[in-house]
Copies of this chain bind each other. A is one copy, B any other.
Amino acid sequence: VRSLTETVADGDEFDYVIVTLKALPDVYDVAEIIRPAVTIGKTCIVLIQNGLGIEDPVAKTFPMNPLLSVVAYIGVSQLSSGRIDMQGTELLKIGIFPKVMVDHAKQVEARDRFVGVLRRGGVDVEVIKDIQADRWQKLIWNGSFSPISVLTLGDTQLIVNNPEQKALLVNLMRDVIRVAAAHGYIFDEEATITEMFAKTARVAPGYKSSMLLDLEKGQPMEVEVILGNAYREAKAKGVAVPYLETIYTLCNAVNQREKKAREMKAAQNTPV
């Protein structure tokens, strides 16, 4: 099938709806997009998306449905339509999202069945007890490398090789680690930072962040779920994150500027 309309026309009910859309709560509402395919109390919703706080709006709209949260580790860049450059390993970490009004057993059942399907398909899957820990961990990378790459238009190599930019990376990682800690997710600061740099050198040297690729392609960037939500979580807990705050403000400005540019271009191309 090619579209949601075509899919639901048969009257079928779905066991799973898998969301792999960019997480852009400031652009569209994922819950509204998938609504036609969701049977209340039955369909398990699977979010394979980046960022923090992506589950909440879906859980709020569909509190009676099983909800799975997946963090994907795929070192891939789409260079152009159909041209994929795979630079790292592939792994899906999967966990249940507990804050829905669904029996834990039913959530686990939905998860295990989904994991089984993936494994039979040869996908590398890891079942995680508290997937939010992985969301925070991934955010340590995405909240530091991504915004610097966007604001400097540089790849990982260029950033790491510059002592000042490397220092800023570290300060951003520390900010994120501090917010995570305030939410009960404790990372060993020094060990984590060391590992982030080691892993980047190993699997993603000269790597362009997905946020930078989005900017280059003229698409909205995942600023809100990667930086905005972390910043708001920091504010809510009274944690000072000056580096994260600055970088969020600037990336937000770039996002808004590009949006305005797209709108102006679209207006010019619209026949009167």
Q: Which residues of A are interface residues toward B (Cβ below 8 A)?
A: 148, 151-154, 162, 164-165, 167-168, 171, 242-243, 245-250, 252-254, 256-257
Contact = CB atoms under 8 A, between A and B. Distances in A.
Contacts of A152: 250, 253-254, 257
Contact of A246 (B162, B247, B253, B257): B247
28 contacts: A148-B250, A148-B253, A151-B254, A152-B250, A152-B253, A153-B257, A154-B257, A162-B256, A164-B248, A164-B249, A164-B252, A164-B253, A165-B249, A165-B253, A167-B249, A168-B245, A168-B246, A168-B249, A168-B250, A171-B242, A171-B245, A242-B242, A242-B243, A242-B246, A243-B246, A246-B246, A246-B247, A250-B250
Contacts of A246: 168, 171, 242-243, 246-247
- Decide if the interface of chain A is mainly helix, strand, loop or mixed: helix
A165 B256 CA distance: 12
A6 B107 CA distance: 84
Contact of A151 (B151, B162, B168): B151
A142 to B, nearest CB: 17
A63 B246 CA distance: 41
A246 B253 CA distance: 16
A144 B199 CA distance: 35
A243 B168 CA distance: 11
A126 B243 CA distance: 39
A261 to B, nearest CB: 10
Contacts of A168: 245-246, 249-250
Given A246-B242, A246-B243, A246-B247, A253 B171 contact: no
A209 B121 CA distance: 56
Contact of A154 (B171, B242, B245, B253): B253
A254 B171 CA distance: 19
Given A151-B250, A243-B246, 10 more contacts: A151-B254, A152-B254, A164-B253, A165-B249, A167-B249, A168-B245, A168-B246, A168-B250, A171-B242, A250-B250
A79 B259 CA distance: 26
